[in-house]
Amino acid sequence: MGIESENKEIEKNLRDIARNLLQEKKVDAILGYSKGTAPLSTSPIIIRHIDEVNKLIWNNLCYMNLAKYLVPRIPQLKSPKGEDLKIGIIAKGCVGRALIHLNVEKQLNLDNIKIIGISCNGIVNRKRIEREIGEKEIFEVSTSENNIMIKGKDFEKKFSFDEYINELCKVCKVKSPPKDSELEDIFIGESREMKSIDDDFSDLKEFESKSPEEKWQYIKELLEPCIRCYACREACPMCYCNLCFVDQNKPIWFGKTTDLSDIIIFHLVRAMHLAGRCVACGACSSVCPMGIDLNMITRKLEKLVKERFNFTSGLNSKFLPPMMAYNMEDDEEFMLEEN
Amino acid sequence: MTIQAEKEKKIKEWEPKIIAFLCNWCSYAGADLAGVSRIQYPPNIRVVRVPCSGRVNPYFIIKSLTDGWDGVVISGCHPGDCHYLTGNLVARRRFAILKELLEFFGIDPGRVNFMWVSAAEGERFAVLIRKATKIVKELGPNKKFEKKW
Amino acid sequence: MDQKILMKNEIGKLYIELAEEYNFYAPVINKGNLIYNKILNPDEIILDFYNSKIPPKEILFPKMETLFEYKTDGKNIEEIIERKDLDEYNIIFGIRPCDAQAFMLMENFFALGDIKDNLFLKKKENTVLIGIGCNIPKSTCFCTSVNGHPFKSDYLDIFMIDLGEKYLVEGISDKGKNMLEKLTWLSKSTKADIQKGEELSKKAEESFKTKLDVKDIEKILEQSFDHPIWTEISDICMGCGICSFLCPTCTCFDVIDENDQYNNRGRRIRIWDTCQFCLYTLHTSGHNPRDSSIERCRNRILHKFCYYPKNYDMLGCVGCGRCIQLCPVNNDLRKIIEKVNKIKEEEKVNA
């Protein structure tokens, strides 16, 4: 089946399931994606009435991680009386991982959540395509066979699907939400229980073999355009702190300016806070207005916890994330020792 | 070189400034023992006493580097000997993550060093501080986070 | 004054002549993003573009700006150093009419009241805006709906129309006319050039795909502060800073003191801030009147379409479309205005 027909099939099933859930009052609202009005965009949507179900779509531009809307910091999903709504959430693999991990961190009340799992075959790298199209206006985006077709004002361009999806999607091993005993779910397509993933992180080998100076130059060039809009932080389902570390001002730890050192510190500390928690959904890179691709950092975070603690976030509710635990037998090869 | 010229050269030669977070029960006592036993070690470290290595927030380490410190040393009790039972185990995981991430971002890994020193290991403390100072001195001054005004 | 002609291949000459006296800012591509930046080489200038990603407000109202610096002797302040670069002359080349209108809105904001913002006003006084009309507006542009026009030259010093191989140049303000008089090597324009310019203007005006009805928006918004529509409008907003940071009229800023104690110096700086951040209205008591995205989204729309007309008699939105293109959740301003206008219709039906 081509990508387009797969998507259409998933979309049809999605709408049927959403309709059933709303009809049988099993959920109060459905959280999904709807068609975007700007090029290369889709818009998350909260559907409360059954006649709006046809607004739900599924395609390769659904880059937002919907689990963000379920964390306690976002109070939208409450009834007028202030009670939690029962939500049906449309979950591709990384959204499912985020939900499981949020459950482990006790941020969700799972009784109110039903996961509609779907198998995702990759999200289009919208910032890369925008950069390559340059100063031309894009009107229509579609997928056909193995290509992404971009139609715009006076031009048409084809991109290879396998090459122009997000870097994280290229190496993704969790395409549909992992099955977990604590989550009640309805699946379309496949779902399987996963204890761990098989990944050799060969895409990081080249970067890790660089000298510290080269790495610093690369990171500097990568992060320089940052304007500190915090879209990456807001799009990330794991960034749910009531007071983010950059906003602390009694005392001020790290600057909020756009000085290069402040920018690098922000991304370094944010990466540190996401060690063992990041689910590699790529939303941070997809929403960045300046087109900064944080995939390297994300991959490093996954590699770090896999190699040191044999842990991958969001696969199973039973395993504790590494930063919430400790072990006498941890590796300590980095410690300074007498010769 | 005359004695005067040698003296001047020593004064002008750059010496790294290293901040050391020492846990109160083991490492600080170990450092104290080194002092009492008159064991010589480089005077580059400035000590901050913390109750446990687990108290050391990674922010302290990063803020030290951004403020211009050339090196950071964190020292705690050996695993299993922590006065608060598990503080140093928690800290060890934090240090592992931080060290790998600092290395990934291109900040010389030799600038931040961790060690276990118990209260009876005065000589070991001096040896490790000598080693850490040597590593940091070879890396040169920390100019990466300098803000241009 | 007669309109002149500047050939596209003469822009280098223009740069060389002006760059000695002025800081020359022009659209360039930096890491894949089109922004306005100070150029050192006229070959960097991009002439074929819709509009920049970061609005040119960045030049006169930067993301991070030092208000003053001070030196200490360890304990007490020895010396306070004021800004010295406010007397420098600037040229912003290639600005669009919507962004120029935004500069006027910003000037009104910074000049309002007894205490004026000298940093911005002084710099603006010393800046020459050379604008280029939009022959092909983007589908998300809607300047004609908000008292703008792709060829509006009112807020520019020099206005240019792209005729293909050359620009038709007109001095608008005294500053602009004086500058053009010094550029004696510019060729004369012909009647055909002027006519082509007028044709392009009309064509651009008719090509707008987005038209917003903002006739009664001020009144509707004033009366619908507590309307339940705001819950619907804001339910997907995440509270990032993209719409306000990249809006050419947004002016909010935060003031921070930085202390470099080891070097005996410090400075006070201001950085961009936005009402969309959840801590923007956090009081020291702990109370936050804009606690959720409902109040924050509502504030942004009211600010642009209700409070601005009240305070300055001008709509606070210039129709550049950046918020529509770059919002990560595609919370489209056009849809929001449509929904707000429907309130009036609903009330008519219910009455």
The β-bridge partners of A248 are none
The angle, 0 to 180 degrees and rounded to 10, between the axes of the packed helices B122-139 and B27-36 is 100
For B54, nearest residue in chain A (alpha carbons): A326
Residues from chain A contacting residue B107 (CB–CB below 8 Å): 212, 216
| Residue among C66, C69, C262 whose CB faces B67 most closely | C262
- How high is the mean pLDDT of chain A? 89
Residue pointed to by tokens 């991990």:
A101
CB-CB: which of A64, A76, A137 is closest to C329? A64
Contact B115 A335 (CB under 8 A): yes
State which residue of chain B sits closest to A267, comparing Cα positions.
B105
One-character DSSP codes across B96-108: HHHHHHHHHTT--
* Interfacial residues of C (vs B; Cβ cutoff 8 Å): 66, 69, 260, 262-263, 265, 267
Our count of domains for chain A comes to: 1
Q: Is A64 on the interface with C (CB under 8 A)?
A: yes
Put simply, whether A131 touches C (Cβ < 8 Å) is yes
Nearest CA to A59 among A158, A143, A127? A143
The predicted pLDDT at position A81 comes to 74
Domain assignment present for residue C251? The answer is yes
Query: Which of chain B's residues have a Cβ under 8 Å away from the Cβ of C66?
Result: 149
Residue in chain C nearest A73 by alpha carbon = C292
Answer whether residue A338 is part of any domain.
no
Q: Mean pLDDT over residues A75-90, rounded?
A: 78
- Residues C151, C9: one domain? yes
Task: Tell me the residue type at C103.
Answer: F
Q: Please, which residues 82-101 of chain A have a Cβ atom closer than 8 Å to chain C? A: none
Distance from CA of C35 to the nearest CA of B (A): 22
Which pLDDT score is estimated for C103? 95
Please give the pLDDT value at position C34. 94
Among the ranges given (A195-209, B62-76, B112-126, C41-55), the one the predictor scored with the smallest mean pLDDT: A195-209
Alpha-carbon gap: A251 to the closest alpha carbon of chain C (Å): 12
Q: Residue A166: which residues within 8 A CB-CB, separation 6 or more?
A: A63, A122, A123, A124, A125, A282, A285, A286, A295
Q: Is the pLDDT of residue A12 over 70?
A: yes
**What is the C-alpha separation between A336 and B72, in angstroms, rounded?**
12
User: Would the CB atoms of A336 and B80 count as touching at under 8 Å?
Assistant: no
Whether C32 and C170 share a structural domain = yes
Partner-chain contact C265 B149, CB within 8 Å: yes
The chain A residue lying nearest B76, using CA atoms, is A335
Residues in chain C within 8 Å Cβ distance of A135: 34, 46, 48-50
State whether C328 and A135 contact (CB < 8 Å). no
**Checking DSSP bridges between strand A155-160 and strand A87-91, what pairing results, if any?**
unpaired
Chain C residue numbers touching B149 (CB-CB < 8 A): 66, 69, 260, 265, 267
Yes or no, beta carbons of C277 and A230 under 8 Å apart: yes
Residue C297: CA atoms inside 13 Å, Cβ hemisphere, count?
Answer: 26
C182 and C323 belong to one structural domain: no
pLDDT, tens only, A91-119: 999 999 999 999 999 988 878 888 888 88
Residues of A in contact with C330 (CB under 8 A): 36-38, 41-43
Range from A140-154, A185-199, C105-119, C196-210 carrying the lowest mean pLDDT: A185-199
C305 and C342 fall within a common domain: yes
Q: Do A208 and B147 touch (CB under 8 A)?
A: no
Per CATH, which fold does B13-139 belong to? Rossmann fold (3.40.50)
Of C142, C173, C206, which residue is a domain's last?
C206
State mean pLDDT over C284-303.
Answer: 92
User: For A327, which residue in chain B has the nearest alpha carbon?
Assistant: B89
CA distance C266 to chain B (A): 10
Residue of C335, C296, C302, C298 lying closest to C317 (CA atoms): C302
Amino acid at C24: F
Facing residues of C133 across strands?
Answer: none
Per-residue pLDDT band at C348 (split at 50, 70, 90): confident
Å between C20 CA and nearest CA of chain B: 24
Residue where a domain terminates, one of C150, C184, C206: C206
Task: Please give, one letter per residue, the 3-state secondary structure of chain C.
Answer: CCCEEEEHHHHHHHHHHHCCCEEEEEEEEECCEEEEEECCCHHHCCCCCCCCCCCCHHHHCCCEEEEEEEEECCCCEEEEECCCHHHCEEEEEEECHHHHHHHHHHHHHHHCCCCCCHHHHHHHHCEEEEEECCCCCCCCCCHHHHCCCCCCCCCCCEEEEECCCEEEEEECCHHHHHHHHHCCCCEECCHHHHHHHHHHHHHHHHCCCCCCCCCCHHHHHHHCCCCCHHHHHHCCCCCCCHHHHCCCCCCCEEEEEEEEHHHCEEEEEEEECCCCCCCCCCCCCCCCCCCCHHHHHHHHHHHHHHHHHHHHCCCCCCCCCHHHHHCCCCCCHHHHHHHHHHHHHHHHHHC
Average the pLDDT over each of A44-53, B139-148, C265-274 and give the range with the smallest value: B139-148
Residue C165 and residue C50 share a domain: yes
Asked, for residue C74, whether it belongs to a domain, the answer is: no
Domain stop point among C158, C183, C206: C206
Q: Specify whether C126 is located in the same domain as C178.
A: yes
Task: Grade residue B129 by pLDDT with cuts at 50, 70 and 90.
Answer: very high
pLDDT at B8 over 80: no
CA distance A229 to chain C (A): 5
Per-residue model confidence as pLDDT tens digits over C212-259? 888 889 999 999 999 999 988 998 998 888 999 999 999 999 999 988
Shortest distance between the Cα of C147 and any Cα of chain A, in A, equals 23
Number of residues assigned to chain A: 339
pLDDT at A286 (0 to 100): 94
Of B97, B107, B116, the CB nearest to A275: B97
Strand C158-162 with C127-132, pairing: parallel
C301 and C336 share one domain: yes
* Nearest in space to A102 (alpha carbons), one of A309, A235, A278, A275: A278
Residue of A nearest to B92 (CA): A332
> Which residue do the tokens 């100070």 mark?
C38
C-alpha–C-alpha distance, residues A34 and A61, integer Å: 10
C7 has which bridge partners? C166
Residue of C256, C328, C335 with shortest CB distance to A256: C256
Among A184-198, C90-104, C303-317, the minimum mean pLDDT is found in A184-198
Pick the residue from chain C with its C-alpha nearest to A75: C292
CA distance C250 to C272: 9
Q: Is the pLDDT confidence value at A74 over 90?
A: no
Same domain membership, residue C180 and residue C148: yes
Tokens linked to A26:
């099993």
* Angle, CA A321 vertex, CA A318 and CA A324 arms, to 5°: 115
| Domain assignments of chain B as residue spans, ordered by start | 13-139
Whether C66 is covered by a domain: the verdict is no
Q: Is the CB of A326 less than 8 angstroms away from the CB of B93?
A: yes
Q: Which of A38, A230, A243 sits opposite C241 (nearest CB)?
A: A230
Residue A337 lies in a domain: no
Q: Do C262 and B149 touch (CB under 8 A)?
A: no
Q: Is residue A13 part of a domain?
A: yes
List of chains touching B (3+ CB pairs within 8 A): A, C
Q: Which residue of B has its CA nearest to A222?
A: B105
Q: Specify if C69 maps to a domain.
A: no
Q: Cβ of B67 and C267 within 8 Å?
A: no
The pLDDT, as a whole number, for residue B3 is: 82
Residue of A nearest to C51 (CA): A135
Please check whether residues C169 and C238 belong to one and the same domain. Answer: no
Is A333 contained in some domain? no
Q: Do C241 and A225 touch (CB under 8 A)?
A: no
**Residue C268 to chain B, least CA–CA distance (Å):** 11
Split into its structural domains, chain C has a count of 2
Which residues share a beta bridge with C69?
Answer: C81, C267
Average pLDDT in the B9-34 region?
A: 90
Q: Cβ–Cβ of B101/A308 closer than 8 Å?
A: no
| φ/ψ of residue C223, rounded to 5 | -90, -5
pLDDT at residue C127, as a whole number: 95
Q: Are both C25 and C116 inside the same structural domain?
A: yes
Nearest Cβ partner for C140 among A38, A131, A224: A38
pLDDT digits (tens, 9 = 90+) for A184-226: 666 666 677 777 788 888 889 999 999 999 999 999 999 999 9
Are residues C188 and C334 part of one domain?
A: no
Least confident of A263-272, C67-76, C302-311: C67-76
Distance CA A94, CA B59 (A): 29
Q: What percent of chain B has pLDDT over 70?
A: 97
Instruction: Tell me whether residue C172 is in a domain.
Output: yes
Same domain, C223 and C198: no
Distance from CA of B67 to the nearest CA of C (A): 8
**DSSP code of residue A194:** -
Report if pTM > 0.90: yes
Closest partner CB to A36 (pick from C31, C272, C330)? C330
The domain of C269 spans 217-350
**Interface with chain C: mutation pick from A33, A34, A43, A47, highest number of C CBs within 10 Å:** A43
ipTM above threshold 0.95: no
Confidence of residue C351 (pLDDT cuts 50, 70, 90): low
Q: Which chains touch A (3 or more CB pairs under 8 A)?
A: B, C
| Structural domain for A157, as ranges | 3-324
